[in-house]
Amino acid sequence: MIPEKVIVDAEKCTECLNCQLICSLTFSQRFNPQDSRIIVEPINGGRRIDFTDDCTECYLCVKYCLYGAITLKEG
């Protein structure tokens, strides 16, 4: 599931894991991508970015995505 206000451009993703790390820190108080509510995984030479049902739509992943792979829709 991708939140309604989020635009994902997986081609821009470098797998830096900033989004997963800030998410896990926020919700589990530790840096562990497995605790994240956003999933970034390699697939067929590219990447897939998805969100778990536990995502609260806090958009910290957008704020900490340095490469524009996760952005908010305008308006």
**Is 35 a domain residue?**
yes
> What integer pLDDT is reported at residue 45 of this predicted model?
86
Domain count, the chain: 1
In a domain, 39, yes or no: yes
Structural domain range at position 24: 6-72
Which CATH number does the domain housing residue 41 bear?
A: 3.30.70
Here the tokens at position 44 are 């067929």
The answer to the question of residue 46 being in a domain is: yes
Q: Which residues pair with 41 in a beta bridge?
A: 48
Residue 19 lies in a domain: yes
Quick: pLDDT tens for 9-28. 999 999 999 999 999 999 99
Please indicate, yes or no, if residue 1 is contained in any of the structural domains: no
With 80 as the cut, is the pLDDT of residue 75 above it? no
Task: Flag whether 14 is in a domain.
Answer: yes
pTM of the prediction? 0.90
Residue 37 falls within a domain, yes or no? yes
Q: How many residues belong to the chain?
A: 75
Residue 74 has pLDDT above 90, yes or no: no
What is the structure's pLDDT at 1? 84
Number of helical H runs and strand E runs in the chain: 2, 4
Closest CA to 48 of 17, 5, 10: 10
- pLDDT tens, residue by residue, 35-61: 999 999 999 888 999 999 999 999 999
